[in-house]
């Protein structure tokens, strides 16, 4: 994890602080919006993180909340850091806001956990697999330039998260179904499986294979990502995968805990270590 959090984490900290200050001041959203000549929906979007907020607007809010000078300085600094540019900014026209936020949290996380039931996780995909799956999951033809850009993004994510000297620990539970479907044909899938088996030697990656024999499990409702952070003021986040390829954040901590516990149970009934590698090589051999 980077020494300092990036814009996504800073935006979340900022909106949390602003909402808490308003509530501590005992002010209704409608009152604050009227004072600033805003719509209530604008203030709601700011407090939920649906939109960003300028330093000028932060100062205006803090004036209404009668924040102390030291707190004003801290939150203005936070607002500036929340607007810093990151490597994915140059790809913004390819990425919806939810996915940009996802990449930001992924970059800031101290621990990544994931269940994937249908495809190999993006961080672990080979380039040929990426190209095939990106086109296959789209209901309409995707321009080659767009696919090339999305592959660059995915490879850059891998470099930033797992390719550093201090890679982010990444635990993934993979359903056997995700490994059995031959994306791109036998040779492409065989190479992908062999790549997964080799990744078990990566110091930060733990791959679990959830076999068909394990029976039904909670992951059958859909794939999900859990991102944990080192700082106590940054709660764990949970992302669900959307049919359109988007990812949606859920801030419900009890729900996130339930998903974390479910992932623990799924890992316990999965193959790991040498058994997982042997299973993956067995499936690769079936494709030869």
Q: What tens digit of pLDDT does each residue of 46-93 get?
A: 998 778 899 999 999 999 999 999 999 999 999 999 888 899 999 999
pLDDT level of residue 271 (50, 70, 90 thresholds): very high
Candidate ranges 93-107, 183-197, 227-241; pick with highest mean pLDDT: 183-197
Same domain (yes/no): 73, 105: no
Q: What is the pLDDT of residue 194?
A: 97
Give the span between the Cα atoms of 156 and 38, in whole angstroms. 39
Instruction: Give the model confidence (pLDDT) of 146-178 as tens digits.
Output: 999 999 999 999 999 999 999 999 999 999 999
Which range of residues forms the domain containing residue 41? 7-82
Same domain (yes/no): 68, 94: no
Counting the structural domains of the chain, the total is 2
Q: What is the pLDDT of residue 171?
A: 98
Same domain (yes/no): 127, 173: yes
Kindly report the average pLDDT of the chain as a whole number: 92
In a domain, 1, yes or no: no
User: Is the model's pTM score more than 0.75?
Assistant: yes
Instruction: Give the model confidence (pLDDT) of 185-205 as tens digits.
Output: 899 999 999 999 999 999 999
Query: By percentage, how much of the chain surpasses pLDDT 90?
Result: 81
CATH code for position 252: 3.30.870
In a domain, 38, yes or no: yes
Same domain (yes/no): 95, 77: no
Same domain (yes/no): 66, 92: no
pLDDT level of residue 2 (50, 70, 90 thresholds): low
Beta bridge partners of 100: none
Per the CB < 8 A criterion, the answer to whether 171 and 268 are in contact is no
Same domain (yes/no): 70, 129: no
Rounded mean pLDDT of 250-259? 87
Q: What is the pLDDT of residue 5?
A: 81
Same domain (yes/no): 17, 142: no
Q: Is the pLDDT of residue 243 over 70?
A: no
Same domain (yes/no): 74, 95: no
Could you say which DSSP state residue 271 is in?
B
Q: What is the pLDDT of residue 232?
A: 86
CATH code for position 72: 1.10.260.40
Side-chain-side CA neighbours of 211 within 13 Å: the count stands at 14
Question: Could you tell me where the beta strands, DSSP code E, fall in the chain?
Answer: 111-116, 170-175, 205-210, 224-228, 237-241, 247-250
How many residues does this entry show for the chain?
288
In a domain, 2, yes or no: no
Domain limit, last residue, from 65, 82, 99: 82
Q: What is the pLDDT of residue 6?
A: 85
In a domain, 16, yes or no: yes
Query: By percentage, how much of the chain surpasses pLDDT 70?
Result: 96
């Amino acid at each position: 994890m980077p020494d300092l959090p990036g814009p996504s984490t800073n935006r979340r900290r900022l909106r949390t602080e602003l909402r808490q200050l308003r509530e501590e001041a005992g002010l209704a959203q409608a009152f604050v919006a009227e004072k600033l000549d805003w719509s209530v929906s604008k203030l709601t979007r700011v407090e939920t993180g649906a939109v960003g907020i300028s330093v000028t607007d932060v100062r205006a809010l803090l004036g209404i909340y009668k924040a102390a000078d030291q707190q004003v300085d801290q939150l203005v600094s936070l607002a500036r850091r929340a607007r810093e540019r990151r490597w994915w900014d140059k790809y913004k026209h390819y990425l919806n806001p939810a996915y940009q936020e996802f990449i930001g949290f992924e970059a800031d996380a101290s621990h990544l956990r994931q269940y994937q039931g249908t495809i190999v996780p993006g961080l672990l995909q080979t380039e040929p697999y990426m190209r095939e799956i990106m086109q296959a999951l789209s209901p309409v033809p995707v321009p080659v330039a767009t696919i090339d850009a999305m592959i660059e993004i995915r490879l850059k994510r891998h470099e930033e998260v797992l390719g550093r000297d201090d890679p982010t620990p990444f635990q993934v539970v993979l359903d056997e179904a995700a490994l059995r479907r031959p994306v791109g044909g036998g040779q492409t899938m065989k190479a992908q499986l062999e790549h997964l088996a080799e990744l078990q030697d990566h110091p930060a990656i733990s791959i679990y294979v959830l076999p068909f024999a394990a029976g039904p499990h909670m992951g059958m409702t859909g794939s999900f990502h859990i991102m944990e952070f080192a700082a106590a003021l940054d709660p764990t986040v949970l992302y669900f995968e959307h049919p359109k390829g988007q990812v949606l954040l859920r801030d419900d901590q009890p729900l996130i805990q339930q998903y974390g516990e479910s992932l623990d149970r799924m890992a316990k009934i999965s193959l790991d270590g040498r058994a997982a590698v042997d299973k993956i090589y067995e499936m690769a051999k079936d494709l030869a």
